[in-house]
Every structure is written in structure tokens, then in C-alpha cells.
Structure 1
Amino acid sequence: MSDARGPETAALPPLDEVLAVMRVVAIPTRTRFRGISVREAAIFDSPLGASEFSPFPEYGDAEASAWLAAALDFGWREQPAALRDRVEVNATVPAVAAGRVPEILARFPGCRTAKVKVAERGQGLADDAARVRAVREVMGPDALVRVDANGGWGVEEAVTALRALAEFDLDYAEQPCGGVDELVEVRRRLSPGDTGEGPLLGEAAATLGLHARTSPLVRIAADESVRKAADPLAVARAGAADLLIVKAQPLGGIRRALGIVAEAGLPVVVSSALDTSVGIAMGLQLAAALPLAEGEGASGAVLAGACGLGTAALLEGDVTADPLLPNGGEIEVRRPRLDPEQLTRYAAPAERERWWRERVTRCHALLSAAAH
């Protein structure tokens, strides 16, 4: 069965077949990202092409089992048809010092949208503002700039920060707070007539060539409140977001993700979770299966701009000799071939290989139980 309440559980391949085609890699990141300096992933040389299982190590088996459902679906079942052969992607800027922004953006050639990490532990609003300003200065006034707090602010912090960062003409703010009720309150307080002060476009905005935005002051996008929620549609029902960020692996695969966004009826941006090119291919397939928004103000389950699928550029290596990297601000929708040399080069230590095999075994058992 596949619906908004749980991952796809039909026709699981046998566990021994899954383990037989599994390799585990540990790939260093170019820059510390979400506290990670090495990205681990289980890669399957599966019948219909390479697939990936890469929930972060701290995730419990119940949450990780949705990621395994996605990997098995992608590797062992035909996928929904793509509507296009290329997907526009954004640059992703980790919580680096402002001086490193040009170096990071250079890894995303042709991208005219950037997502900037904010609300990093140990940093403050001044650090965030400097980083966002640096992005705006490098990319110019016509680029789209987004921020992603990963739920790191409370309501008051979020409202204060987003009113300040609105100076740089934000496309949207992703998951400023953790809870759905908090998102509702932040969105209300950033709506017309409740900003607390007038248009926040002062000297800095004029210097950067920006223009005053119409309402709302900053749009709100939901990520963790969708992919980590028992009820991924709660955000839409509560009116907590203007658009959804969806990721194929955490939502149980491309089919289930398409079902969720169809029910939610909100515009969508597809993102990744610092995947290898194999996981990126899954996200690209999801993005390519969504219709494009037609004109400003388009609503419904449509692809609403550049996707966060360029993050293989943040890894030191990959599992393929032909990685899925931005070119002209886009990535081709294709499935990369696994490269034995790269798999060997980035092979995880034996104890981590065992850890991941045990994890796959437990998650497979959960999926099997749910199917009966």
C-alpha cells in the first residue's frame, strides 16, 4: 500500500538479494555541513539501476525504514515518467564565514538561485546576515536567495531574524521553526498588516539594487515538518507554509512523495539530503515528474523553482565517474553508473559496513511486517 500515512511496502525484494548488491561508502565533505564531515551511504547495484539508502546515523529504525522503502522502490521498480530531461537547481551555501561565499558559489556554475544555511549553533544573526549579504552581492539583485534554518529558531527569533534578513529580498525561508504551530504563528506575523514595522528595505537594499516586495514579507517553506512528521499533510491543513520542500528518500520514494504533494495542493521544491549522485538521481526523477508552475502565483502541486539537488558539489568524491553536478544551473535527469574504482576508494571501514548491513536488516524487517 502507498498513501500519505506510510511508505511504499509492496513487493519488497528479499533481504538476501538486497544485501548481496550492497556497498557502503564514506565520502568526506568539502565543508562541514549540518555537523557532518563524512557522509556515509549504502549503495545498491540493483536490477533497474543504482539506488541509495542514506538516512543520517542518528535516525531511528522507524524513520530510516521510509528511506529504505524509497531505495528499494527506486532500485527494483519502474518509476513514474519524467516530464522533462533537465531540472534547474540552486546553489547551497553551508554556514560558512561570509568570506568563503564566493568559493562555495563557484561550485554551482550557472545557478541563479541560492539556499543559504542560517541558525547554525554557535552563530548569531550577524553571522547569518553577513553570509546572506555576501551571497546577494556575488549573485546580484536578480538572483533568488533563500534561507534554511532547519528548525533552529523559536518564534520570536524567527520573526526577528526574518524581518532583518528581508532586507536582502528573500525568495522564502525554509523551516524557520520546528513545530507546525510555530510555523503558523511566524507566517501570521510576517503577513500583511502584522510585520510590526514598515517595509524593511533600507540603505543596504538600495545599495544592492533590490526593490520592495509585496506581501508576505517572507514566504515560509516547510521541510522537516513534512518529511519527519507522522502526518506529512498537517502543514497544509494548518496553513503553516506557502510551499513544501520534499525529499524522495525520507518520504518513502517517488510515488509516495507525488501522492503527498498532490494531496497537499501546495507548490513544491525538491531537495536532497547531501546524497551521492545516486540519491540525487532519485530526487531528479521526482522533480522531473512534477508539472512546472505556469506564471507567477501558480498554485497546486507544481514544481516551484530551482531544486536543492546540486549538493553532490559539496562532497569530495562520489560513487560514479560522471557525477550529477550543476551545469548552466541545471542537472540532466539520468541515472549514473556505479564506478568500481570510486566504490573501492570511498569504501567505509569494516565496522561501519557491518553497522549499515545490520541497519538495513532491521529496516527491511519493519517494512516486511508493515506489508502483512
Structure 2
Amino acid sequence: MTPTLAELVDTARVVALPMNTRFRGVDTREAVLFEGPQGWAEFSPFTEYDDGEAATWLAAAIDFAWRLQPAPRRERIPVNATIPAVEASRVAEVLARFDGCRTAKVKVAERGQRLADDVARVRAIREAMGPEGRIRVDANGGWNVDEAEHAIHALAEFDLEYAEQPCASVPELAELRRRVAYMGIPIAADESVRKAADPLAVARAGAADLLVIKAQPLGGVRRALAIVAEAGLPAVVSSALDTGVGLAQGAALAASLPELDHDCGLGTASLFADDVADARPAGGTVSVARVTPDAAALDRLAASAERRQWWLERLERCHALLAESD
């Protein structure tokens, strides 16, 4: 059963978290946090998403706050550092915020930048991490097939762990995977899973070697686990640029996977200048424990009255969509 809107609004806190570095076009990350019988949860679909897509994020938050989660198989989750599309000279500064992380995910294909910028950034990371560090790149679907093939070839010298969502569509991913197979660089699918009407299409098409899964966009831990099981591919759990509260749901998902062969993208609390709870990685890992936001932080990071109203109206619309489907 979906809780009533009044039950959600009763504990709802709308927060605005400042970021150390602009990431995914965002300088300040907004979210609604609310508390249910099982603890706190987060509703934070990106502002450009329509209500239909955002309602899935609300379903995930409600599931996490109102229902017991699957039993964890591990107590801590190894995580990667996340490097925005910064200049190469800033790489060491960003890496320093990710205590003990042995893997770095690097944003590439940023609008307004060139492949040379990506190569310089990845080279700086390889130099900083040494030969044993793992590097994966994430293009967020920013290349066409030819561009992706050229870019992966240019970046291959840095011993990539995998390339995440190099192209936007499933057919493009399948074609690219065929073209770069000789290089031995796996292709990972993110948007082709979490934003797809059919999240299993990429697996059926043989278009990816592994899946990047996120708890909120996929409707919660159980639904994400079911997608991974049916896809039959290895999975990496990643953040949707969540607050410390939302990261706890991602950690619960990672803790529940039968196999966890890759470091997860759940260290993104280090991208924030302030947060509702300290969820930054320590020794390259994060805890799977649930998070209770700090009362003083909720006050300090409270969004403006105008933004609070905007989010509560969005919450109401998405709740109505979920109630219709019950």
C-alpha cells in the first residue's frame, strides 16, 4: 500500500546541498527526505524529469522507508572515486576527497570539451593512481558510434576497466561493442537500463558486458535486483547524485547482490561541500547501515520556501500517479 500524501509530507524536509565542483550540470543538489516506519528515505529525481519518470523514484523512496529490505550479504561496499569533467590540473585535488579509493570513474564527452581534454584528464588520473589503479570512463551517451570508437581507442593506453554508456541507444551500443571487442574493453550500460521502457533490452541485444544500476531510478532495491537477475550480467551499483540518505539505499542494493565484482559508484558524497549526514568513503568503502540525517544539517541545508513548495507539489503529483496504480 502507498502511504498517504499526508504521511509523506508530515516528516518531509527539502534540502539543497552545495557541490564542490559542478557535476552533471548541477551546482546544488536538491532532494526531499522523509521518514517512514523503517527509517529515512530520499526522493530526488532530477528537475528536468517528467512526473511519470519521477514517480518511479518516489516508489523507491517509499519502499525504502516503509518496507524491510532484503538481507545484506556484506557489511561494507568498496567504492570508486568520481571525477567530474575538470581540467587535468585539478584531478589530484578531486581524488584527494575519496579516501582510499582504488578505482576512479571519469566523466568524458562533456559538452564544450574535446577528446584531448578527456585524454589529458584520464592521463592525469593514471599518473596519480599508478599502474594498479582502475579507471573507468562515463560518456553519458555523449558520442555516436564513430566518435566512441575513436575515443576508446585514444583512451585504451590508460588500461580502462570499462566504458560506461558511450553511446545513447541500444543499437549503437551493440555496434560499438562489436567494433571494440578486439581491444578487450567492456561496455557498460547505464541510461539504457534506468531510463528505458524495457531495462532488459540492452541485455537481450548483447549490447553490454555489464549493467550500471541505481536504486531510485529503478524503483527500489527489489526491482533492481530482479532486473539484474533476469539480465544475467554483472552489475555495478551507482549513485544518482544522492544525499547521504539516498546513498544508504544504494548501499543496501549493493549489499544484497549475490555477486559484487566491481567497486561501486557510491562514494559521491565526496562531491558535496555539505551533506545531511557524513556518507563519504573511508578506506575506499562505505557502510551499508541506514542513515539518519543530522537535525542541525537539515536546518542548515533547508531549501528556500519557494523551492520547498516546488518539491512538495511535485511530490503530490507523483504520489497521485502511484496511488492510481495501486
TM-score by length of 1: 0.87
How far did residue 339 of structure 1 move? 1.3
- Aligned with 2:222 (options 236, 249, 255): 255
Query: For the residues of structure 1 that align with 2:230 and 2:258, how far apart are their CA atoms?
Result: 15
Structure 1 counterpart of 2:267, one-letter code: G
Query: Match of 1:354?
Result: 309
Match of 1:190, SS? helix
How far did residue 67 of structure 1 move? 0.3
Alignment of 1:1-372 (within 5 A): 11-192=1-182, 215-216=183-184, 218-292=185-259, 303-320=260-277, 323-371=278-326
Question: Residue 150 of structure 1 contacts residue 224 of structure 1 at CA under 8 Å; is this kept in 2?
Answer: yes
Query: For the residues of structure 2 that align with 1:244 and 1:331, how far apart are their CA atoms?
Result: 21
Structure 2 counterpart of 1:87, one-letter code: I
Structure 2 counterpart of 1:331, one-letter code: V
Structure 2 unaligned runs (5+)?
A: none
Query: For the residues of structure 2 that align with 1:338 and 1:329, how far apart are their CA atoms?
Result: 22
The farther-off stretch of 228-237 and 38-47 is: 38-47
Query: For the residues of structure 2 that align with 1:229 and 1:152, how far apart are their CA atoms?
Result: 17
Match of 1:68, SS? helix
What is the root-mean-square deviation of aligned Cα atoms in Å? 0.8
Identity %: 65
Query: For the residues of structure 1 that align with 2:133 and 2:209, how far apart are their CA atoms?
Result: 20
Query: How many pairs align?
Result: 326
Structure 2 counterpart of 1:245, one-letter code: V
Query: For the residues of structure 1 that align with 2:53 and 2:253, how far apart are their CA atoms?
Result: 20
Match of 1:56, SS? coil
Structure 2 counterpart of 1:185, one-letter code: E
How far did residue 47 of structure 1 move? 2.1
Match of 1:177, SS? coil
Question: Residue 45 of structure 1 contacts residue 338 of structure 1 at CA under 8 Å; is this kept in 2?
Answer: no
TM-score by length of 2: 0.99
Structure 2 counterpart of 1:333, one-letter code: V
Point out the structure with max Rg over C-alpha.
1
Higher helix content, 1 or 2: 2
How far did residue 273 of structure 1 move? 1.1
Match of 2:181, SS? coil
The farther-off stretch of 219-228 and 39-48 is: 39-48
Question: Residue 119 of structure 1 contacts residue 149 of structure 1 at CA under 8 Å; is this kept in 2?
Answer: yes
How far did residue 337 of structure 1 move? 1.6
Deviations 1:232-265 (A, max 9, x none): 0000000000000000000000000000100000
Structure 2 counterpart of 1:319, one-letter code: V
Deviations 1:164-213 (A, max 9, x none): 10010000000001100000011010013xxxxxxxxxxxxxxxxxxxxx
Query: For the residues of structure 2 that align with 1:350 and 1:183, how far apart are their CA atoms?
Result: 43
Deviations 1:49-95 (A, max 9, x none): 11000100000000000000000000011000000100000000000
Structure 2 counterpart of 1:308, one-letter code: G
Deviations 1:218-243 (A, max 9, x none): 21000000000000000000000000
Moved over 3 A (4+): none
Query: For the residues of structure 2 that align with 1:291 and 1:253, how far apart are their CA atoms?
Result: 17
Structure 2 counterpart of 1:28, one-letter code: P
Query: Match of 1:198?
Result: none
